[in-house]
Amino acid sequence: MIKWGKVVGLTLVIVVASILMAFTTSTVLQNITLGLDLQGGFEVLYEATPTNNNEISKSALNDTVSAIEKRVNVIGVTEPEITVEGDNRIRVKLAGVFDQDAARSLLGTPAKLTFRNANNEVLMDGDDLAQGGAKVDVDQYGQPLIVLKLKDPKKFEQITTEYLHQPIGIYLDETQLTNPVVRQVISEGTATISGERTVEEAKNIADLLNAGALPLDLKEIQSQSVGASLGMKALELAVKAGIIAAIAILLFMIVYYRIPGLIASFTLIFYVYLILVVFWQMHVTLTLPGIAALILGVGMAVDANIITYERIKDELRSGKSLLSSVRAGSHRALATILDANITTIIAAAVLFYLGESGAISGFAITLIVSILVSMITAVYGSRLLLHLLVGSNLVKNKWLYGVKEEEISEL
């Protein structure tokens, strides 16, 4: 007797999941951030060296990373990858950036602003600059200048009072930008820098000043650029290979396991969709190593289904009913699946902890997320659908579950 309640439940789950994938997949794909190796860009490895004010430490390295992130925001790069490697190195990956000279200029320039007297003594520095206090303007002759807003107008007023009719040099690092003579006491806390040839030059300097000085000096020791066409070619090949492999896997599952294979194919498709949603919500940058980890996760999900179905077939061959075989087989397979997944997660965690490069860490994180999601779809999702199907009594022929009648020991 067919149990229509379970048929409706099975149909509802499949229809809802299918509609969800059909109407949201394009949005999810559009919001996935591609890494440098997939969309092209610029990568540079810096070696940090101490400054007069800072020694190399974890705190100083993290502060330097934060300062670089502020500068990257000036370029307008989304989801930059900036990681500390070892004890004194910082790797910067900027996907979609192809002007290496501009990137180097913005990232590695110390940009320490100082106001100095004639004896080269520092009177004020970049810390006295208000947040976002550097702006570009033009003078009465249409020439670009930089307007600086200082935090403490009284401090600047005292300095201009003390050095009235004397020059106060304004320096960016050790380069003198201007050396104006104080003609009057400035009480508004505003200073101007003139002498830039173009508005673009003035804007670059203002952006550097607003981004702040780097706590540590950076020395470039390695760099590489990936062209946009090369990155897109890699993405096309990866997607093509993934589609071919997916079709081969789904066909094998359906032909060999029949009804359970059909269920496994549907849950695998939903698994890939769910992984992409998780990557989108976690703001994961997808790279070629990440795609490799995703494919490995698909393999783990397929293995979980195969182990479960082989256990169910063993139970069917022993003469048990369909429902009993599904229950017993799923239960027996669970321990094996957990062992395999947990050991893989441990290996990925070790890779993440010991991996010094962003590629290794990214691979490890993607693999861990993929395995956790596969537990939801391959174990619980497939089991739910299979239990609904078997419990509905809609399909009773054991051949459709991969077992021939002559293989069954007791009928």
Residue pair 77/134 in contact (Cβ under 8 Å)? The answer is no
pLDDT at 207 > cutoff 80? no
Distance CA 243, CA 272 (A): 12
| 118 or 100, greater pLDDT | 118
Helix and strand totals (H; E) in the chain: 12, 13
Percent of the chain with pLDDT over 70: 90
Query: Which CATH class, in words, describes the domain spanning 41-109+214-226?
Result: alpha beta
The pLDDT, as a whole number, for residue 273 is 92
What is the tens place of the pLDDT at every residue in 334-371? 888 888 889 999 999 998 888 766 677 778 888 898 89
Mean pLDDT over each residue of the chain, to the nearest integer: 82
Evaluate if residue 400 carries a pLDDT over 60.
yes
Instruction: Judge contact between 21 and 377, C-beta under 8 A.
Output: no
Give the domain ranges of the chain: 4-34+227-407, 41-109+214-226, 111-202
pLDDT band at 383 (very low <50, low <70, confident <90, very high): confident
Q: What percent of the chain has pLDDT over 90?
A: 9
Above 90 in pLDDT, residue 19? Answer: yes
Query: What is the pLDDT, as a whole number, of residue 228?
Result: 62
- Rounded to two decimals, the pTM is 0.65
Per-residue confidence (pLDDT) for residue 222, from 0 to 100: 84
Could you tell me which CATH class the domain 111-202 is placed in? alpha beta
**pLDDT at residue 15, rounded to an integer:** 93
Exposure string for 8-38, b = 16+ CB within 10 A, e = fewer: ebbeeeeeebeeebeeeeeebeeeebbbbbb
Q: Is pLDDT at 131 greater than 90 in this prediction? A: no
What does the pLDDT look like over 30-71, one tens digit per residue?
888 777 777 777 888 888 888 766 678 888 888 788 777 776
Pick one of 3.20.20.70, 1.10.540.10, 1.20.58.480, 1.20.1640.10 as the CATH number of 4-34+227-407: 1.20.1640.10
pLDDT-derived band of residue 22, with 50, 70 and 90 as boundaries? very high
pLDDT at 4 over 70: yes
Q: Please report the pLDDT score of residue 23 as a whole number.
A: 93
DSSP 155-176: HHHHHHHHTTTSB-EEEETTEE
Q: What region does 76 belong to: left with phi over 0, alpha with psi -120 to 50, or beta?
A: left
Question: Residue 250 above 70 pLDDT?
Answer: yes
Higher-confidence position of 150 and 266: 266
pLDDT at position 20, please? 93
pLDDT of residue 12: 93
| H helical segments located in 46-145 | 58-75, 100-108
- CA 5 centroid distance within chain: 43
